[in-house]
Amino acid sequence: MLFNSVTFVLFLPLVLLLIAAAPRRLRNVVILAASYVFYGAWDWRFLGLILTSTLIDYFTALVVEESDDPKRRKMALSVSLIGNLGILGTFKYFNFFVDSAVVLIEWAGFHASRPALNLILPVGISFYTLRTMSYTIDVYLGNMKATRRFLEFAVYVAYFPQLVAGPIERARDLLPQIVAPAKVTADRINIGLMLMMIGFTKKVLIADSIAPITAEIYDQPEAYSAGVLLQGCYLYTLQIFCDFSGYSDIARGVSELLGIRLGDNFRQPYLSQSVTEFWRRWHMSLGSWLRDYVYVPLGGNRYGSVRTYGNIMATWLLCGLWHGAAWTYVAWGGLNGFYICVERALGIGRGEPPLARSPREWAWRVTRTVITFHLVVTTFIVFPSPSFAHIVEYVRGMLVFDSLLAIGPLPFIAGLAVLAIDVPQNASDDHTIFLRLPWWLQSPVYAVLCLAMMLYGDREIPFIYFQF
């Protein structure tokens, strides 16, 4: 079920009504049932995978907490990791690793057959796998107590607002809210509706309007001039941001209506002044997950510069593989890791950038922001490209400099629309700053946006991160 679908528009009010009508003790039963219906709308068979992950981590966490035997604790943790990664690896990475092994064997001069599994990648499996694993790891590390409430834990795993594309909430943050949700007040309803409106505006009016254009350009890069190809890069960079951050805004808004607060997942990343800062602002829940469960256990920055750079690259290569079962995604992770290593060596991106106090400082901030944006643009060419050959063809086409000036107005229009949302949010450090507008100004804006979405929102284009 898509957020940007008529089905969801009917589904959400029904869920809210059922929760309001149900006794408090049955509230989480309704949310769990709604979550399973929401996910099962894609393919009911995938519910078995979610239930399997739920059972594995619920019971292994109890064993970890109740046992005083270090070997038994490690064994239980291993069952959790092997079980979750085994399911993820089978559905997402089996064919990738087999194909890579076959290529390597044939390169060495031997013949190898290519066994393959014809499996559909379950939507959201990468997201809920990280959530369930982090729970057991946190219990093992003593960061939280294992819950005895199976119902609430099942809700945590399958919680429908953030089930298929995040934010990747930690159990220690989300479980207490599921057990004892806050009262849904008028303020929370206003915040929820505002976040949903911002999210739908990003997704339906910006990202989905761009999507057909970028798809056409990336499908046949050889047919377009350098200017059009460059325009495709800019548009896709804006599209993926509005698509993914729009999902996060909608998820947070829906969750507010349920009395549960999800964490920020984006903080205006395209206003960053370094790639390092960009990745502190983009998909923040994944970044913190990789930091806490990959980078720090590898040693972080505790063992000298060479080891630190190696840990950064290892973390980013894994991040690339998490995004997709293809070497292009691994290369994408490696490129981002390289950027961050270079910035670290130059002392760039550490801490929050200082406030600009003069026109010269403002000019330097803008320059750094523009440079960072273009570095990010170069990495996002990978996402809609099916192969390295396609990427090379696309980049080669952009190097025909004589037609670079033939860029249409659409990237500028879409960019201004994004800035109109992001600049006020960034300046105020408040995603709901638009609630400060007087009601007589908010009302017509809501009306115009709703009308525009009714006119142009019939495409129901899936969110980009569903494929991850």
Which burial class, exposed, middle or buried, applies to 316 when counting CB atoms under 10 A from its CB (0-12, 13-18, 19+)?
buried
| 364 touches 407 (CB < 8 A) | no
The active-site residue, picked from 283, 323, 390, 431, is: 323
Which residues lie below 8 Å from residue 211, measured CB to CB, with a gap of 6+?
239, 243, 459, 461
Q: For 207-304, where are the alpha helices, taking DSSP H only?
A: 208-219, 226-257, 275-281, 284-290, 296-298
Q: How many CB atoms lie within 10 A of CB 408?
A: 12
Q: How many CB atoms lie within 10 A of CB 252?
A: 26
Q: For residue 375, which amino acid is it? A: L
Two structure tokens written together for 210: 């761009």
Residues 278 and 331: their CA atoms lie apart, in Å, by: 18
Q: Active site includes 323?
A: yes
349 Rama sector, left if φ>0, alpha if ψ -120 to 50, beta otherwise? left
Its sign, for the CA torsion 347, 349, 351, 353, is positive
Two structure tokens written together for 20: 């309001």
Which residues lie below 8 Å from residue 140, measured CB to CB, with a gap of 6+?
64, 73, 77
| 194 touches 164 (CB < 8 A) | no
Q: How many CB atoms lie within 10 A of CB 20?
A: 10
* Torsion of Cα atoms, 250 then 254 then 260 then 262, to 10°: -10
Catalytic residue numbers read 323
